[in-house]
Amino acid sequence: MLLEQITSDGEQDEAQQPDTDQNPKKARLKHKKKNIMKAKLGSGARFAAIANKAQGEYEKKGMSPEHAKQVAGAIAASVGRKKYGAKKFSKLSAMAR
């Protein structure tokens, strides 16, 4: 937000405000993550979101859509197992079926 000051002749001047690169507080706010509602755990929507994102990236690299879908599913499963552990991830996948 720029501060404005009224000069003696009635015109408005913008006060010199440091750039966001120099002002660390503004830089942090600029890169702050948005508060996004996540799908309920075990619904399969989180897995599908990761798989779809990965599939799109692999298709951009020139992979066929079928192979990209297969690789993306494997990546999403790998991430889920690392995050939640094999036991809990298998329970979550059973809930999503």
Domain ranges of the chain: 45-96
pTM: 0.58
Spatial neighbors of 10 by CB under 8 A, at least 6 apart, are none
> What does the pLDDT read at residue 2?
45
> Residue 89 has which token pair?
């991830």
What CA–CA distance (Å, rounded) separates 17 from 67?
A: 52
- Residue bearing the bigger pLDDT, 1 or 50: 50
Condensed to tens digits (0 to 9), the pLDDT of residues 14-60 reads 555 555 556 666 666 565 666 678 888 889 999 999 999 999 999 99
Number of H helices, E strands in the chain: 4, 2
